[in-house]
Structure 1
Amino acid sequence: MSYRGPEFDVPQPRRFRHGPLAVALAVLVAGALLGWLVYEGVGGADGSPRAASSAPGLSGDDGKRGADTSSAAGGGALRGKVVVIDPGHNPGNVRHPAEINRQVDIGTNRKECDTTGTSTNAGYPEAKFTLDLAHRLRVLLQREGATVKLTHDGDSPPWGPCVDERARIGNAAHADAAISLHADGSAAGNRGFHVIMPGAVHAGAADTRRIVGPSHELGTRLKGAFARETGEAPADYLGEGTGLVTRTDLGGLNLSKVPKVFLECGNMRDSTDAALLTSGAWRQKAARGISEGIMSFLRES
């Protein structure tokens, strides 16, 4: 981050002739600055988006900021588009069992506000995975001109939000597309990713009839782009190998008024999938795949 001080006339210093020592120091400083800029531009050793802190609308070393808004500058293919990213679960949920276990209305029935999510056998939590992936995806979409909103940013709020509130955040933003990021906790040996799309629901506060079609289109484009960028195959344990699943029991989909899908990026309980999900370089590929899928959908919408 650069800082420009108060604009006033600074007294001009006396001019001195530069000796050999001054010239050497100047060269060393310039070289160090150039090296830092190159490191920031190419990214960290684990593939993390080191340039995130200087991307439009971001702040902090890891690109985090509040979850309410995260807007992009000027031009780009997605200028004028709004995307809501919903990182599944929350790292703080484990410390708030009473809050996340309370029941909320999802239209078809009542379910827990939220859950802690799953984890790899080595203890890498789904909530940490989804938040990291959301940060990477946000940077890529903002570079294309999109306005991006997160439903939460780990510590804001410190738990949740509840599944019904996650849907309302997308609705209030009038999102052109919304995606909830997850990783599955199926049995070891089950591999692959799948996209969950809303089924037709019209009960209580839930009415998905207007978004079923566009959500299916979003899911189909997301599946293709995610597979291309990551090299991963669709799940071999559900969806009959199509990578596409329709459900009517998820509050985040039932209560959505905007095109929305869930993406289960892999199975955390399978050692092969877990090795991918815990890799920063692979998560960057996943973010690119998701971004490409969303862009493909929004260009046609």
Structure 2
Amino acid sequence: MTPPTGRAGRWVAVLAVLLAGLTVGWLSWLAFGSGDARPGSSASLTAALTPGASRSSPPAPAGSEGPSAAAAASGAATLAGLTVALDPGHNGGNAGAPREIGALVPDGRGGTKACNTTGTSTDDGYPEHAFAWDVVERTAASLEALGARVVLTRPDDAGVGPCVDVRGAFAQEVGADVLVSVHANGSDDRSARGFFVIVADPPPVVEQDPGEREANAAASESLAGDMVEALSVAGFAPSSLFPDGVSRRADLATLNLAERPAVLLELGEMRNAEEAAVMTSDEGRQRYADAVTAGVVAWVEGAA
């Protein structure tokens, strides 16, 4: 699918997706309470995921309208023909494999860096890898309900890796149109707050046609802007570190090695008590997922 370049009219669809997500979350809360119910997911979801393979859409939990409600509210098949690569940051087994994740891999700029890291956590110990995995599960279900094909860089939250160079090359290897990597930040300053979106700057130096490389860089910037706006519309504040919500970096292999439009999302500050409370709640993670979905929809609707 050709990355969209226009921007007219997309926010009608975005608001519909966010409203539908809030409706689904409310209905699910009524059915299951405020525990760990995951709208649109099931125990079979993890088994259905394999790197490089399409996800199988899980059944909606009993008593919930599931992700189909979001599709109905915003127009089914809104994302038909789009393949989205989602990258839940880090992994649950990384802490137990220091040698493996410490191995050096290409950074996409002619240097090397560590294969991966353990990620950060809230002060109460809720880990980034678990947060990223949960948000990605929810986002994947919503995107699929809107007609997209979704592929994930890892099949569960109990393994090791993959390394950042593998994550970066993942989108082109599975035929995806776009790569969205999901993370949360861990600033030492507990007063730091807010989300930010990272794009590669300067653009990736991967070996591809210069025109295609420039188009991907422009599409990545557009996607970053749409993600900032979608997260803001959902009620999340841009980072106090990056007031416009965008960070530009040259040192992230996940972005440097992508031959597709790509962004890395730092959805909030895990060491900020207020934001940690949102991240550790079922409702909060659903809000993040709805906003990420809305950002993808806005990017696609930009062609209208």
Normalised-by-shorter TM-score class = 0.7 to 0.9
Greater Rg, structure 1 or structure 2? 1
Aligned partner (choices 243, 248, 251) of residue 250 of structure 2: 248
Given that residues 44 and 50 in structure 1 are in contact (C-alpha distance below 8 angstroms), is that contact kept between their aligned partners in structure 2? no
| 1:88 corresponding residue in structure 2 | 89
How far residue 279 of structure 1 moved from its aligned partner, in angstroms, is: 1.0
SS in structure 2 of the partner of residue 149 of structure 1: strand
Q: For residues 65 and 201 of structure 1, do their structure 2 counterparts lie closer, same or farther at Cα, with a shift above 3 Å needed?
A: closer
| 2:8 corresponding residue in structure 1 | none
Given that residues 52 and 63 in structure 1 are in contact (C-alpha distance below 8 angstroms), is that contact kept between their aligned partners in structure 2? no
Q: For residues 85 and 202 of structure 1, do their structure 2 counterparts lie closer, same or farther at Cα, with a shift above 3 Å needed?
A: closer
Given that residues 194 and 243 in structure 1 are in contact (C-alpha distance below 8 angstroms), is that contact kept between their aligned partners in structure 2? yes
Which residue identity lines up with residue 194 of structure 2 in the other structure?
G
How far residue 228 of structure 1 moved from its aligned partner, in angstroms, is: 1.2
CA distance in 2, matches of 1:182, 1:88: 5
1:125 correspondence with 2:127: yes
Given that residues 28 and 37 in structure 2 are in contact (C-alpha distance below 8 angstroms), is that contact kept between their aligned partners in structure 1? no
Mapping of residues 68-217 of structure 1, within 5 Å = 68-71=52-55, 76-108=77-109, 109-155=111-157, 158-186=159-187, 187-201=189-203, 203=205, 209-217=214-222
Given that residues 47 and 284 in structure 1 are in contact (C-alpha distance below 8 angstroms), is that contact kept between their aligned partners in structure 2? no
| 2:227 corresponding residue in structure 1 | 222
1:45 correspondence with 2:34: yes
CA deviations on 1:208-233 (whole Å, 9 max, x unpaired) are 5442100000010011111212x111
How far residue 197 of structure 1 moved from its aligned partner, in angstroms, is: 1.0
1:259 correspondence with 2:265: no
Structure 2: gaps of 5 or more residues: 1-26, 58-70
| Structure with larger RCO (C-alpha < 8 A, sep 6+) | 2
| 1:286 corresponding residue in structure 2 | 288
CA deviations on 1:217-251 (whole Å, 9 max, x unpaired) are 0010011111212x1110012x2x10011111100
Aligned length: 255
CA distance in 2, matches of 1:249, 1:203: 12
Aligned partner (choices 239, 248, 269) of residue 235 of structure 1: 239
CA distance in 2, matches of 1:165, 1:41: 41
Which residue identity lines up with residue 265 of structure 1 in the other structure?
L
Q: For residues 101 and 140 of structure 1, do their structure 2 counterparts lie closer, same or farther at Cα, with a shift above 3 Å needed?
A: same
Structure 1: gaps of 5 or more residues: 1-37, 54-58
Q: For residues 124 and 171 of structure 1, do their structure 2 counterparts lie closer, same or farther at Cα, with a shift above 3 Å needed?
A: same
TM-score of the superposed pair, with normalisation by structure 1: 0.77
How far residue 39 of structure 1 moved from its aligned partner, in angstroms, is: 6.7
CA deviations on 1:33-68 (whole Å, 9 max, x unpaired) are xxxxx9799555337434323xxxxx6177863333
Given that residues 72 and 145 in structure 1 are in contact (C-alpha distance below 8 angstroms), is that contact kept between their aligned partners in structure 2? no
| 1:275 corresponding residue in structure 2 | 277
Q: For residues 285 and 204 of structure 1, do their structure 2 counterparts lie closer, same or farther at Cα, with a shift above 3 Å needed?
A: closer
Q: For residues 205 and 41 of structure 1, do their structure 2 counterparts lie closer, same or farther at Cα, with a shift above 3 Å needed?
A: farther
TM-score of the superposed pair, with normalisation by structure 2: 0.77
How far residue 255 of structure 1 moved from its aligned partner, in angstroms, is: 0.4
Which residue identity lines up with residue 235 of structure 1 in the other structure?
S
CA deviations on 1:237-289 (whole Å, 9 max, x unpaired) are 2x2x1001111110000000000101101111111111111111011011001
SS in structure 2 of the partner of residue 211 of structure 1: helix
Q: For residues 41 and 78 of structure 1, do their structure 2 counterparts lie closer, same or farther at Cα, with a shift above 3 Å needed?
A: farther
